[in-house]
């Protein structure tokens, strides 16, 4: 029965996480396409390129090549190349998407999503038992063994639920409370706080470590053999950055809520559900925000100001320079 609880929770959490990944991919891909196809945002990029070109022209570069690269959360990027003679401010450019829609979709479904699925297959069972261990070590409320037997007839009731298992223990406590035999213990806020700190620190650290190692082996596994020292240093920084990034978003708050109101054997499902809802809401918010932002006076004024600045910075000289900008 204990294994069935684990399998049920893992399957549900895995399905929610995969769905969240797919929704996130498509929403952010749409945002990238909107940026790339928007005339107003392209005007903004052109104005930024003109400012960069004319600043460089003052350093004796009569002609400048400008590359503006915009990277998006789903891994795709757009590259914009512009050549501007210093003698005039006419910007001619070509706009190309480094990863086409079809190629990006193929890469996501053939590489990124299977890799994420492998990560989930490893991490979800471990996360389930981690939550069980936390609750047994630092219980938020009294367990069934902490309650005094309400009567001599209570022992057969406990035995009827089978062997020791957190799900069964919760059922026993709920049944006793419903029958009025015991009162539910109040929540231990100190224990809850300790569990929360352990989850964010130790729990977050071992999870991002597994994710970083799997990601590195997938992308640059040959360097593990060729440049072991460099790899070890890089992985340490990657783990640190990922761990610090784990504090951003809904996860810390959702984790605290789960320790207060969600049984241990259902917490991984709750956490993945919270991630799914947050990702969907935020993605739809950005999708609705971009068209509004494009038409605001703020963006128009920004473009006008940058164009005026480019005109004031016009200069001349000799040589060829290059500016690379990443957004």
- Which domain-ending residue is among 139, 161, 185? 185
Residue 126 lies in a domain: no
Task: Return all residues near 214 (Cβ < 8 A) that are at least 6 apart.
Answer: 115, 118, 119, 122
Task: Return all residues near 159 (Cβ < 8 A) that are at least 6 apart.
Answer: none
The answer to whether residues 88 and 69 touch, using CB atoms and an 8 Å cutoff, is no
Per-residue pLDDT at 74: 52
Mean pLDDT of the chain: 73
- Using one digit for the tens of pLDDT, what is the confidence trace for 151-198? 444 444 444 444 445 566 666 666 766 666 656 667 889 999 999 999
Report residue 161 as tokens.
């639920």
Taken in order 29, 75, 99, 115, is the CA torsion positive or negative?
negative
Q: Say whether both 96 and 30 belong to one domain.
A: yes
Residue 29 lies in a domain: yes
Q: Say whether both 96 and 164 belong to one domain.
A: no
Residue 97 lies in a domain: yes
Task: Return all residues near 264 (Cβ < 8 A) that are at least 6 apart.
Answer: 131, 132, 134, 135, 166
- Residues 205, 97: Cα–Cα separation, whole Å: 36
> Which residue bears the tokens 């224990």?
191
- Residues 295, 41: Cα–Cα separation, whole Å: 10
Residue 308 lies in a domain: yes
Residue 301 lies in a domain: yes
Per-residue pLDDT at 145: 47
Average pLDDT over residues 254-283: 94
Q: Which residue has the higher pLDDT, 230 or 89?
A: 230
Task: Give the residue among 48, 95, 103 at the shortest CA–CA distance from 74.
Answer: 103
Q: Say whether both 29 and 98 belong to one domain.
A: yes
Alpha-carbon torsion angle 2, 8, 13, 15, nearest 10: 160
Report residue 183 as tokens.
């009162």
Count of the separate structural domains present in the chain: 2
Residue 4 lies in a domain: no
Residue 197 lies in a domain: no
- Which domain-ending residue is among 185, 206, 228? 185
Domain of 159, in residue numbers = 153-185
Give me Rg for the CA atoms of the chain: 28
Whether residue 93 is predicted with pLDDT greater than 80 in this model: the reply is no
Q: Which residues pair with 317 in a beta bridge?
A: 60
Per-residue pLDDT at 76: 54
At residue 105 the predicted structure's pLDDT band, cuts being 50, 70 and 90, is low
- Residues 195, 186: Cα–Cα separation, whole Å: 16
- Which domain-ending residue is among 139, 169, 185? 185
| 3-state secondary structure at position 83 | strand
Whether residue 226 is predicted with pLDDT greater than 80 in this model: the reply is no
CB contact burial 137-168 (16+ within 10 A = b; e otherwise): ebbbeebbeebeeeeeebeebbeebeeebbbb
Residue 294 lies in a domain: yes
């Amino acid at each position: 029965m204990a294994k069935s609880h684990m399998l049920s929770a893992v399957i549900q959490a895995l399905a929610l996480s995969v769905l969240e990944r797919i929704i996130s991919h498509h929403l952010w891909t749409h945002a990238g396409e909107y940026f790339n196809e928007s005339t107003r945002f392209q005007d903004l990029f052109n104005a930024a390129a003109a400012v960069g070109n004319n600043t460089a022209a003052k350093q004796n570069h009569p002609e400048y090549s400008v590359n503006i690269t915009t990277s998006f959360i789903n891994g795709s990027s757009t590259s914009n190349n512009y050549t501007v003679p210093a003698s005039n401010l006419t910007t001619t450019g070509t706009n190309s998407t480094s990863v086409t829609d079809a190629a990006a979709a193929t890469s996501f479904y053939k590489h990124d999503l299977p890799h994420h699925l492998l990560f989930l297959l490893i991490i979800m069972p471990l996360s389930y038992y981690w939550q069980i261990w936390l609750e047994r070590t630092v219980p938020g409320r009294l367990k069934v063994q902490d309650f005094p037997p309400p009567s001599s007839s209570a022992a057969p009731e406990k035995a009827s639920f089978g062997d020791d298992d957190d799900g069964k223990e919760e059922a026993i406590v709920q049944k006793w409370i419903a029958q009025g035999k015991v009162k539910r213990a109040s929540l231990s806020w100190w224990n809850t706080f300790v569990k929360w700190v352990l989850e964010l620190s130790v729990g977050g650290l071992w999870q991002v470590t597994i994710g970083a190692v799997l990601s590195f082996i997938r992308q640059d596994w040959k360097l593990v053999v060729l440049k072991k020292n460099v790899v070890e240093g890089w992985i340490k920084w990657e783990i640190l950055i990922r761990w610090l990034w784990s504090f951003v978003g809904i996860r810390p708050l959702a984790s605290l809520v789960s320790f207060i109101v969600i049984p241990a054997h259902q917490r991984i499902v709750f956490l993945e559900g919270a991630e799914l809802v947050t990702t969907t809401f935020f993605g739809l918010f950005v999708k609705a925000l971009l068209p509004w932002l494009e038409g605001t006076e703020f963006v128009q004024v920004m473009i006008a100001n940058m164009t005026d600045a480019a005109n004031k910075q016009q200069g001349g000289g000799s040589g060829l320079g290059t500016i690379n900008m990443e957004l």
